[in-house]
């Protein structure tokens, strides 16, 4: 029976291998979680509710739920492109899901796909006040909850903690630079300290404190986005489309993009001299990951997604302090925020609903964190479903008990706002076009206005990749 249980969990996850997958630990999850499946044969006689997900970190919760009772069972199917799979169903010729959990579910292509989730809430059930308010609102349609937030990942800015490190932020007190106080840091603070770091070079040593163009280009996107670029899924109700009116899945705020790129160029010029100087410095010195370059004093700051930072070994994390990157009163939250929903006319909805009631219980999420620690799954996956729990008390009170680095570093709740809804296939569009365009544009001065130049380049890219329109 144990071998049958192991096959049950691996089949759904190993069916596809995602190109460029951020989850190399999927099979490790499957192997570790197989130890939880010493269940009776009656478990497999129950009709399962099918969970489609792109988040292997949810497996631990599924197996704990299945083992906790004998009436309901959840079977996990991994879907590489979750929004795409849902949009293609039922043409794909496979059974539809009872429950969906993962990225990209807020897309307009799925606007009418999910049923109301108001059943979760009530005096004797879950309270809406248990969630980060803005994240919950991000899953509502026409004042009805259709998606429930599961987890999120803010962007961190790392600094060296050890005062003995020559170029750490603490050693800059001699330059009359105030310490980085509070839980957040803005671009103005980064620029002020990076400028002093560069100016403090001694003995002809060449130093650049920070560039938004490297080493983590996601910082560049988040800064431009929070500065008003407003990249998001195209919506005919919004006046944000390409200059020539051509079809595109991506929209943006032309004025905001102009202002954001102008700020980017101003930073590069005032702080580091030029984009060419930044590139030359990176070519000479920045061979290691960003956080290691901070430790060695090559740069002052490095950006990192929370899920990546908290899966570093604790002994390595201890060398750094961090702040949440913030602009305009909101945190930079990764677009891979996870939500859960139940499709309309989904089979076995009773089991799907029971699982969600079980999962969105603070005590059960604490048990998930405890089990992840005991199985050493927390070494390869962070928190709840790969991020901070959308249950505010779990994120602020429970998780610091399992991640000591969070003590005194809780995300400010008023700044936890959902990111813009992005078009399907956004990860591809972002990596192949948006980020390279932003990096290149920082050092260019095209004759055309920024928004027009972006539109022209985007249309040329989409002409070569029509499936991304």
pLDDT of residue 285: 92
Domain match, 78 and 191 both: no
Instruction: Report whether pLDDT(323) > 50.
Output: yes
Tokens read off for 301: 């700051």
Low-confidence winner among 13-17, 410-414, 459-463 (lowest mean pLDDT): 13-17
- Residue 350 Cα to chain centre, angstroms: 30
For residue 55, pLDDT over 60 is answered with: yes
- pLDDT beyond 80 at 27: no
The confidence band for 430, taking pLDDT boundaries of 50, 70 and 90, is: very high
The whole domain housing 325 covers 155-332+425-468
Mean pLDDT of 111-119: 93
Going by C-beta distance under 8 Å and a sequence separation of 6 or more, which residues neighbour residue 160?
167, 168, 169, 170, 294, 295, 297, 319, 320, 321
Point out the domain boundary residue: 390, 413, 436. 413
Domain co-membership, 39 together with 87 = yes
User: 410: Cβ–Cβ under 8 A, 6 or more apart, which residues?
Assistant: 183, 395, 396, 400
Asked if residue 147 is part of any domain, the answer here is: yes
Report the pLDDT value the prediction gives residue 71, as an integer from 0 to 100.
94
In a domain, 419, yes or no: no
Is the same domain home to 121 and 247?
no
Question: Per the structure, how many domains does the chain have?
Answer: 2
Phi, psi of 150, rounded to the nearest 5 degrees: -110, -55
Q: What is the pLDDT of residue 134?
A: 98
Instruction: Let me know whether 165 and 299 are in one domain.
Output: yes
Asked if residues 365 and 371 have their Cβ atoms less than 8 Å apart, the reply is no
Q: Which residue has the higher pLDDT, 107 or 167?
A: 107
- The encoded tokens of residue 309 equal 């930072």
Name the domain boundary from 372, 387, 413: 413
Q: How many angstroms from the chain centroid is the CA of residue 47?
A: 33
Instruction: List the CATH number of the domain containing 236.
Output: 3.40.190.10
Q: What is the pLDDT of residues 165-180, one digit of tens each?
A: 444 444 444 444 455 5
Q: Would you say the pTM of this structure is higher than 0.85?
A: yes
Q: What is the 3-state secondary structure (H, E, C) of 88-144?
A: HCCCCCCCCCCEEEECCCCCHHHCCCECCCHHHECCCCECHHHECHHHHHCCEECCE
Q: Which of 82-96, 303-317, 423-437 has the lowest mean pLDDT?
A: 82-96
Residue 420 lies in a domain: no
**Do 101 and 340 meet the contact criterion of CB atoms below 8 Å apart?**
yes
Q: Return the H-helix or E-strand segment holding 469.
A: none
Q: Is residue 284 included in any domain, yes or no?
A: yes
- CA–centroid distance for 60 within its chain: 20
* Main-chain dihedrals φ then ψ at residue 383, nearest 5 degrees: 65, -135
Q: DSSP state, 292?
A: H
* pLDDT, tens digit (0-9, with 9 covering 90-100), for 394-413: 999 999 999 999 999 999 99
Where is pLDDT greater, at 200 or 106? 106
pLDDT of residue 174: 47
- 240/375 same-domain check: no
Domain closes at, from 392, 413, 434: 413
Query: Higher pLDDT residue, 33 or 350?
Result: 350
* For range 60-85, the mean pLDDT: 95
CB 289 within 8 A of CB 296: no
Q: Characterize the bridge pairing of strands 74-78 and 99-102.
A: unpaired
Q: 418 lies in a domain?
A: no
Task: Average the pLDDT over 111-115 and give the result.
Answer: 93
Specify whether 145 is located in the same domain as 190: no
- Which one-letter DSSP state was computed for residue 164? T
Instruction: Report the pLDDT averaged over residues 186-190.
Output: 94
pLDDT of residue 233: 94
> Do 102 and 11 reside in the same domain of the chain?
yes
Residue 443 has pLDDT above 90, yes or no: no
Q: Are residues 112 and 197 in the same domain?
A: no
Closest CA to 324 of 294, 299, 303: 303
Domain annotation covers residue 374: yes
**Judgement on whether residues 164 and 292 belong to the same structural domain of the protein:** yes
163 backbone dihedrals φ, ψ, rounded to 5°? -65, -15
Look-up of token digits 């899901």: 97
Q: What is the average pLDDT value for the chain, to the nearest integer? A: 85
Looking up tokens 């500065």, which residue turns up? 227
Please give the average per-residue pLDDT across 379-407, as a whole number. 96
Are residues 46 and 143 both part of a single domain?
yes
Residue 110 included in any domain: yes
**Contact at 8 Å (CB) between 16 and 78?**
yes
Give the per-residue pLDDT at 181.
56
- For residues 91 and 172, membership in a common domain is answered with no
- Six-digit token string for 454: 């972006």
Looking at the domain assignment, is residue 399 inside a domain? yes
Residue 443 to residue 230: CA distance in whole angstroms:
21
Contact present, 84 and 64 (Cβ < 8 Å): no
Position 197 pLDDT exceeds 80:
yes
pLDDT tens for each residue of 325-378: 999 999 999 999 999 999 998 999 999 999 999 999 999 999 999 999 999 998
Q: Do 278 and 382 have their domain in common? A: no
């Amino acid at each position: 029976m144990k071998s049958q249980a192991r096959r049950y969990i691996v089949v759904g996850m190993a069916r596809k291998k995602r190109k460029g997958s951020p989850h190399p630990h999927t099979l490790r999850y499957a192997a570790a979680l197989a130890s939880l499946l010493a269940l009776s044969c009656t478990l497999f006689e129950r009709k399962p509710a099918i969970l489609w997900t792109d988040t292997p970190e949810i497996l631990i919760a599924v197996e704990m739920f299945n083992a906790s009772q004998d009436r309901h069972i959840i079977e996990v199917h991994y879907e590489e492109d979750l929004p795409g799979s849902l949009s293609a169903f039922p043409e794909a010729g496979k059974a539809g899901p009872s429950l969906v959990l993962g990225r990209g579910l807020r897309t307009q292509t799925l606007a009418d796909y999910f049923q109301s989730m108001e059943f979760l809430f009530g005096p004797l059930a879950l309270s809406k006040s248990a969630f980060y308010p803005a994240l919950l609102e991000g899953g509502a349609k026409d004042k009805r909850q259709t998606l429930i937030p599961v987890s999120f990942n803010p962007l961190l800015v790392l600094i060296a903690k050890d005062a003995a490190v020559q170029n750490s932020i603490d050693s800059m007190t001699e330059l009359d630079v105030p310490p980085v106080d509070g839980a957040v840091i803005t671009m103005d603070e980064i620029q002020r300290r990076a400028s002093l770091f560069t100016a403090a070079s001694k003995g002809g040593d060449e130093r650049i404190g920070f560039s938004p163009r490297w080493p983590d280009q996601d910082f560049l996107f988040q800064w431009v986005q929070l500065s008003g670029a407003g990249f998001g899924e195209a919506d005919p109700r919004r006046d944000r489309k390409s200059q020539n009116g051509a079809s595109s899945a991506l929209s943006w705020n032309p004025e905001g993009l102009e202002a954001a790129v102008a700020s980017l160029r101003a930073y590069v010029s005032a702080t580091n001299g030029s984009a060419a100087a930044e590139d030359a410095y990176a070519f000479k010195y920045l061979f290691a990951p960003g956080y290691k370059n901070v430790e060695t004093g090559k740069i002052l700051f490095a950006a990192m997604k929370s899920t990546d930072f908290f899966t570093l070994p604790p002994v390595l994390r201890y060398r750094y302090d961090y702040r949440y990157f913030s602009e305009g009163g909101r945190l930079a939250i990764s677009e891979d925020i996870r939500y859960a929903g139940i499709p309309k006319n989904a089979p076995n909805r009773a089991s799907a609903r029971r699982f969600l009631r079980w999962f969105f219980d603070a005590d059960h999420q604490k048990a998930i964190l405890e089990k992840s620690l005991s199985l050493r799954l927390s070494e390869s996956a962070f928190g709840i479903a790969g991020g901070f729990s959308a249950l505010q008390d779990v994120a602020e009170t429970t998780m610091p008990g399992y991640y000591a680095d969070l003590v005194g570093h809780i995300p400010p709740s008023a700044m936890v706002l959902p990111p813009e809804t992005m078009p399907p296939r956004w990860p591809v569009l972002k990596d192949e076009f948006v980020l390279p365009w932003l990096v290149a544009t920082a050092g260019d001065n095209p004759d055309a206005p920024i928004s027009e130049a972006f539109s022209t380049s985007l249309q040329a890219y989409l002409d070569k990749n029509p499936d991304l329109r």
